[in-house]
Structure 1
Amino acid sequence: MIRRGLMTMCAAAVLAGGAVAGAGSADAIPLPPLPNPLPQLSPHASQVALIKSFNTRSKAITAAIPGRIGLSITPVGGDEAMNFGTVRTARAWSTLKVPVSIAAERANGKKVVADIRPAIRASDNDAAERLWASMDDDKTAVADVTAVLREGHDSVTRIRSSLSRPSSYPGATNWTLEQQSVFGAHLPCLPDSSRVLGYMRTVESNQQWGVKTMRKRGVTTAVKGGWGPVNDATGKYVVRQLGVVTTPRGAFAVSMAALPSSGSFEDGIAMLNRVGGWVGANLNKLPVGGC
């Protein structure tokens, strides 16, 4: 579209110049023929193919394990997410420990590292609560964690706490897959993220699902899982994963979520493992970037 526009402008300039030169002149230069129009290729052709592929895989996944799944992918350093599936948002649960850990380290320095490690690697709730408390009161903690999200280009998410109406808790924060994916895409670019990312690369067995099941040469994965009730009125679980996948081509962030009809944690993991398998099978087709 841009090249055609330039050609049209150039042709217009030639036409105008020819008209002036040819006015009352026998030496007017004949105009060259206009070039054939450039073919119009859809800029979203690859996305359409990926969405079609994911939809096929999604039908197979939910036929085997009834429920709903969602996936959002953003190249590192970018803000344009590709969204797949039918799940668009859910409670953050322990995926929120990533920005909480960064905010706590910024506020307290190395003295909270002993809690960051288990909060990320083992998803230890007691350690995460100490990190939250280390930022003084709820008002300060909400502000500090929100600042990390905004720096990570998530301009939407509002952290839940005892100050919320009705009163709530941080893990119940609604974090859309798209906004989480965008935050993940900027996570490696944040100045204080290296420690957290290091722990995300070495999570314990209770979080080794989704893209963490990939075994590809030259590919590394940093992940944080989250799981808990879909809402206060049900015992059914949502299972989530925030991840950064680094390949020889570049890196991208993923946010995925499963809502199994059974509501079981195990079924949610099984669904995300199959989503992770689709990501691994399409590594060379997914958009990548860098800081």
Structure 2
Amino acid sequence: MARRLLAAGVGVLVALTTACTGSPARSDGATSPRTSSSTSTASTTAPTGRPATALARSLGRVIGAHPEAEIAVAWSPVGTKGAVRVVGDAQPLVAWSTIKVPLALAVVRAGHGQQMGPDIDRALTASDNEAAGRLWADLGGGHRAATAVEVQLERGRDRRTGVPPRVTVPGYSPFGQSTWRLTDQTRFTAALPCLAGSTSITQAMGRVADGQRWGLGGIDGARYKGGWGPTPGGYVVRQLGIVTGAKGATAVTLQVRAGNHQEGIAVADELVEALRSHRGDLPTGHCP
């Protein structure tokens, strides 16, 4: 199913992502041929369209301390159609294992959530690639599975991201090759808790395995999914998540391209420390 290209420019960019797997030694994604190439605009150290907040300044300091890395963070209130705010240089990159969230949701919506429950759990809590492959097969594989995942993305207000139906890079899953722009990923994540069938998905995102609790895992109660892997320009780590506060919840996404996995997650940890210190600046929302 070919995805529609948004004619309007997004004003902020999406960042690099790479593949995650059940073990950091193997990755599972690559660039999707089914999405448009995006031109990058100037990076920013403050949320687009708003004066710099203490949070934006703090994130900007983290970004500035790592000139060798490419870093971006985005957020939007849960359950609303509010704007996505971005700090950093966000460019479109592959989704890697973050795409396992809409993949799992597609299986639930197909009515197979109970029988595929163990694989859903493994795919989301441990980023198990074999389990994710079984979810893809359960959806019929190929174009049927790709379309099913795209339907869930569209339910989450992402009308641009395409999912390859076939392997495009040997050794990597087709779905992990999807190019998922940071802004689109943030919109989907903000809608996720409000989508029918998402409860088991978000619950699993709150039980991430030891060793994968970097970044957003440093925030108590966060529900999140990571992705990681090598790219020609460096090693990428990526996360999407939901951060809950006293007055509501916020979708937060981040991506870092650095020299290796450890450097990437170290930067992600620094970004989340800034988020923790200025959580009051995050706009919160609720499901209708």
Cα pair distance change 1:109/1:286, threshold 3 Å: closer
Residue 104 of structure 1 and its aligned partner are, at CA, apart by 1.2
Equivalent residues of 1:138, 1:163 under 8 A apart: no
Among 84, 89, 98, the alignment partner of 2:87 is: 84
Query: Following the alignment from structure 2 to structure 1, what is the Cα–Cα distance between the partners of residues 156 and 74?
Result: 16
Shift of residue 59, structure 1, vs aligned partner = 1.0
Structure 1: distance between partners of 2:130 and 2:167 = 20
Greater fraction helix: 1
Alignment coverage as a number of residue pairs: 237
Alignment of 1:70 with 2:72, yes or no, is yes
Q: How does 1:96-107 map to 2 (within 5 A)?
A: 96-107=99-110
How far off is 1:83 after superposition?
Answer: 0.5
What are the ranges of 5 or more consecutive residues in structure 2 without an aligned counterpart?
1-47
TM-score, length of structure 2 as denominator length:
0.77
Structure-2 change in CA distance of 1:78 and 1:88 (3 Å) = farther
**Is 1:285 paired with 2:287?**
no
Any idea what the Cα deviations from partners look like across 1:79-98, whole Å, max 9, x if unmatched? Answer: 31001111332210000000
1:169 Cα deviation (Å)? 1.5
Q: Distance in 1 between matches of 2:214 and 2:80?
A: 25
TM-score w.r.t. length of structure 1: 0.76
Question: Does structure 1 conserve the Cα–Cα contact (< 8 Å) formed by 2:60 and 2:88?
Answer: yes
Q: 1:50-89 CA deviation, whole Å, 9 max, x = no partner?
A: 43332223112x06xx311111101001231001111332
Report matched runs for 1:123-138 at 5 Å.
Answer: 123-138=127-142
- Which structure 2 residues correspond to residues 28-47 of structure 1 after superposition, within 5 A? 46-47=51-52
5+ residue gaps in structure 1? 1-42
> Secondary structure of 1:91's partner?
coil
Separation in 1, partners of 2:192, 2:100: 13
Distance 1:206 1:273, change over 3 A: same
* Paired residue secondary structure (1:207): coil
- Determine if contact 1:102/1:192 at 8 Å carries over to the other structure: yes
The one-letter amino acid of 2:197's match is: D
**Quick one: higher RCO (CA 8 Å, sep 6+), 1 or 2?**
2
Greater CA deviation, 239-248 or 101-110? 101-110
Cα 1:206–1:89, aligned 2, differ >3 Å: closer, same or farther?
A: farther
**1:133-172 aligned within 5 A:** 133-162=137-166, 169-172=174-177
Given the superposition, is the C-alpha separation of residues 226 and 105 from structure 1 closer, same or farther in structure 2, using an over 3 Å criterion? same
SS at match of 1:192: coil
CA shift, 1:109, in A, is 3.5
Letter in 2 for 1:196: I
Q: 1:168 to 1:131 in 2, by over 3 A?
A: closer
**1: CA distance, partners of 2:76 / 2:217:** 17
Whether 2:253 is the aligned partner of 1:251: answer: no
The whole-number CA distance in structure 2 between the counterparts of 1:285 and 1:168 is: 38
**Cα distance in 2, alignment partners of residues 254 and 81 from structure 1:** 10
Structure 2 counterparts to residues 1-291 of structure 1, below 5 A: 46-47=51-52, 50-60=55-65, 62=66, 66-79=68-81, 80-107=83-110, 108-162=112-166, 169-215=174-220, 220-230=221-231, 234=232, 236-260=234-258, 262=259, 264-291=260-287
The 1:70/1:122 distance shift into structure 2, 3 A limit, reads same
Distance 1:164 1:122 in 2: 24
RMSD of Structure 2 on Structure 1 (CA)? 2.3
Where 2:222 maps in the other structure, the secondary structure is strand
State the AA in 2 paired with 1:153: R
Which of structures 1 and 2 has the bigger CA Rg?
A: 1
1:238-277 superposed Cα distances (whole Å, 9 cap, x missing partner) = 10001000111210001100000x2x11111111111111
Distance 1:165 1:258, change over 3 A: closer
Where 1:206 maps in the other structure, the secondary structure is coil
Change over 3 Å in CA distance of 1:139–1:163 after alignment to 2? farther
Instruction: Quote the Cα distance in structure 2 between the aligned partners of 1:117 and 1:163.
Output: 24
In 1, distance between residues paired with 2:261 and 2:143?
32
